[in-house]
Amino acid sequence: MSSQNVEIARTFTKAFNAGDLEAVISCCDPEIEFESTFAAVGGAVYHGHEGMRRWYTDLLETWGETISSEPEAFFDLGEQTLVFTVIHGTGTQSGVEADLPIAALATSRDGLITSYKAYIHRDDALADLGVSEGELLPIYP
């Protein structure tokens, strides 16, 4: 079951990089709670499929269509999948190019992501999980 959870996190990332919002949403439970630190200034929590649509609109307003996610490693934590990725993008207001190494934690059930939290600092994700990176077995993309 947990390998299915890693696969849904991969599928989510591929759909995101393709700019296919409906494919992203198809990876998500209708009641998803999605916490983004990147879409809006100061972060935001989005709920459900409509929330995912608002997240994507907010994301494009902040980063434009240049944003992408380059996964470095997936970590199978059973019900949860931790992803270390680098977000690449150009700020729409500033024009500044950014390469941000982040972590994302996706919780899945029945083949759908039920909650998702992005962390600006990978150490914060590890602290929330109560583990060190050395304790985890990476699965490379």
The model's confidence at residue 1, banded by pLDDT at 50, 70 and 90, is very low
pLDDT digits (tens, 9 = 90+) for 48-60: 999 999 999 988 8
Residues 6+ apart with CB under 8 A from 78: 1, 2, 5
Which residues are CB-neighbours of 63 under 8 A, at least 6 positions away? 38, 89, 90, 91, 92
Query: In 3-state terms, what secondary structure has residue 136?
Result: coil
Ordered structural domains, the chain, with CATH: 2-139 (3.10.450.50)
> Each residue of 100-137: pLDDT tens digit?
999 999 999 999 999 999 999 999 999 999 999 999 99
DSSP classification of residue 18: T
To the nearest 10°, report the CA torsion of 56, 38, 106, 8.
40
